[in-house]
Structure 1
Amino acid sequence: MRLELVPPDEIDEPLWWQSGGPRFRPTADGRLENERRKIQDGALGRIRAGRAVRVATYVYATPGVEADACHALLAAYAVSRGTDHAPRPFTDRPEPAPTLPSRPQFALACRWAASGFADCVLAIDRPSVASDGATYEAYLSWLSRHNACLAYLQPALRGRPWTDQ
């Protein structure tokens, strides 16, 4: 979890066991990542034994991104983890407008997972899902209430997942 220094004006009077040293707190992104992992653990823990986890792949295809290749990468990752991937990929393409990007296909992927067609929405990374923390937190909360979760492609070292090192 990422931490940030607490500004001196936000520190209350130190308690008797606390030293006068610097204090740290989780960053907003760190707190949301921790929440996402808890939701993921809970959602995957509720799947009955012997049933494969079903994932729906989602790609936010900015200009220059090959959406089909990203979906293939996500599907290969899902299969390598022993999960089933949904036959329907979800792809959003940004519009050339100065407003915040809309992600209707991500919302559809979340509804699809919440309806029971998938247990999890699998995306490349956090920035592809929601542009601001409040929207991201709302999606996490909504998925949690519907026994679904959000997962990301894990980085690999020399072609092997980090967890296998």
Structure 2
Amino acid sequence: MKLESEIGRFWKPAFESLKSLGQIYPRNFPLSTVIDQNILGFLLVNNETHRCLSTIFPKQDDGQNKGNLPQKERFEILRSFYKHTIGTYFASTIEASDKEPSKLSHTPVETYITSDTHKCYALQSGQHHFFVLYNANIPTFAMRNVTHKTLASLLKDKCIQI
């Protein structure tokens, strides 16, 4: 009984934060942040703060899944693209990954892949790594510009602390 009366004292300060988190789930970032319609998901990693922001539902009405990749497939594609890019091109803290990038004569900062069902683009910008999953309809030449604008938008948003 005594413990029950103490619960409100400890959880009340966190209640508003938890309530606001519930409003942005499963998107995981504020609705005020505009994201290109071709983006199916992304992963933003801050290597200095060891924080990340990820979503496979970037659009509010994305639960309908109208002709897009299913949720599980988006997750797997983004995950494998991240692992492949970090392990092959970008320097990382993954064990033995420093051997592969050292074979390159330069330090890559951007890369992409395309397939029949989707396209992916990765960007290394300062302390951030940004991995974006696009639908197959986006023109390949547009991915770079959209990725840079999306990263700038996410980093500029005061509600997102990454």
| TM beyond 0.5 | no
- Normalising by structure 1, report the TM-score: 0.30
- Normalising by structure 2, report the TM-score: 0.30
